[in-house]
Structure 1
Amino acid sequence: MIKIGVLGCGMIAERGHLPAIQQTPGLILEALFAPRWERTVEMQQRFNATHAYPTEAAFWESDFDAVVICTPAPLHLEHVIQAAKHGKNILCEKPLAMTESDIEEMIRVTDAARVKLYTGFTYRFSPSALEIKRLVKDGSIGEVRALRLIYLWNLHGKWQYDASGTMIPSRLRVGRMEEGGPMVDCGVHQIDLARWWLGSEVSSFKGIGVWVEDFEAPDHLYLHMGHECGAHTMVEMSFSYNATSKEPRSNFQYELIGTDGVIRFNREEHTFEVRNSRGTRHLPWHPEKNFRGMYTELHHALTSNDDRNMPLAKDGLVATRIAREATENAILNRAPNSSKHKSTMLRVGADFMNETVPADSAEPI
């Protein structure tokens, strides 16, 4: 049996990691720690964890084999270093860290400690995503030339109510936008899927931002990636889609376009199909995330030393680098579409309306 410790007991742990660990044969939920003791005890009782610890130091000294890091992204580097120091294998939530240099440091310390560092890309383990991987490998739509990966949603809405009943900006929304916005927070999944499905690295990329709200990072972003195999991926991500709607809905889909057909997955329609020269096949549909599938793979990796489909630290590094650089590229090239609307103004100083932003010849397109 593999004993798992979970560091951080927020929403992603409660809704994804903790129930999946509890339900996966071969895993034991051994230890929990969160900054709020009441929350730690609540999660221990709900998910039958063996131990809950009141201090982080006590958590690290406890008897578990692998740690799942579910803390905010700015804390990931510190927690990976602690895990490596204590000889714990690691599954870390995305994004792995705030900067590329931080992830490189994570890889250095975990390699030196001879412990595993995996990235929590749960989308890989959906049966639908695994089937797309097989279909691409088998040439079901010929040579894949284009991918359209779209996730537009409201990040649970723009507003929340404080204790006095006053409507205020959602703290969840503000926090995720300050950490980098939708491409860094969610788009890393799509970047990883494109690389994994194609088996081809990204050779060039560019981000184009749209500001519905006035954060530094764009809340709606397009990412264009060229792959070494010649395919092109367009990722479209949004946190502002229906963010103020009374009855919001999302738009989540994958489309892979090949020389002999199209693979199409749509979450809202519950459709998954292949259309090619031989006809149309309607395939079983599954949700885009699969935490239990990820933990089944984690158990396999830790007991057999075969990483198989587990996303490695390098996968997290590549996806985070592309997402952050694309977001920064979009911010740098923010267009002055209107002299009156602050969300479309170019932030280059007081005289910005008289200035232009030169193209960077070194910027990958």
Structure 2
Amino acid sequence: MQIFKVGGAVRDRLLGRPVTDIDWVVVGATAEQMHALGYRPVGADFPVFLHPKTGEEYALARTERKSGHGYGGFVFHASPDVTLEQDLIRRDLTINAMAEDDDGNVVDPYHGQADLERRILRHVSPAFAEDPLRVLRVARFAARYAETGFTVAADTLELMRKLSESGELQALTAERSWKEIARALMENQPQVFIQVLHDCGALKQLMPELDALPTERLGALEQAARHEQPLTVRWACLAGGLGKAINERFKVPRDCQELAMLAGQYGEDGRRALQLEAAQLLELLQGFDVYRRPQRFEEFIRVGEMETLARGESYPQADYLRGAADAARGVAVKPLVEAGYTGQQLGEALKAERLKALQAYTA
């Protein structure tokens, strides 16, 4: 039995980046031997085990062959006869197909170190085209490493294009696609993810609403990453106002959906905030339910800021909108209750008082 550190941990160490997750591959072992050593199986049909103390994943060396459509359409074969090289060749990119032994020696049969030096994202073998999820993964890696000069190899981009044209992307589940999209949006250069998908034809298949590549949206997304905005803001910068279909297609989390829809609905009001009358401001604040969900309105303001920064302009509307929200929230409910207002009358009286507060604010 031999154990090797593999994949991202080796890649990131060689790049001088922090190593967070470590994966291991076990060569020359059986599932029975892993059980006997106290490793716990992850699933009945998948040869991956959890270390009894660290909880890290240890996978038996395995080969795979295509058996159907989509990300899950593979049959795995794990046995003590499978070599490390056979295990590594099934991986997506050469920079992810390296291993390291206990002494720190790198096993690199597919020239991953050379591609690290050249700053190239290159597929390991033609089998790359059997897994549609790899289109999203490569685009995500491009977004992660763009700041250090990495680009996608021309022949790899061509394979991604063929995969996009094959219809295989449609076999990806909404949950798996969103997981990759969400991770990509949280990278340092998420706009590169969208650009690569566009370049290989995948954007037209997955997010046709974005295929025209509006530069303002990509600019806002870039600013959102630069200012370390959360996923909700990044998704709204990208997909705000594009409608329900794109959210439903990927089963986007509710908080991301809501902000994107509201950003589209009220975006123009945000841009015109300084010209809005008190009643219009109140309608905007009511639409966001700023009294119970202040954070959502704050994220809406940030979306407007990112869009404006992308145009190289300032956004004085931000502080103005925050001040309006504070003025409306500053109206106390208790005096109205003590005055005898209840039910619908209380709601109407509260709205009237908030309007007065906003009239004073905008005067």
If the length of structure 2 is used for normalisation, what is the TM-score?
A: 0.28
Higher helix share: 2
User: Please, what TM-score do these two structures have when normalized by structure 1?
Assistant: 0.28
Larger relative strand fraction: 1
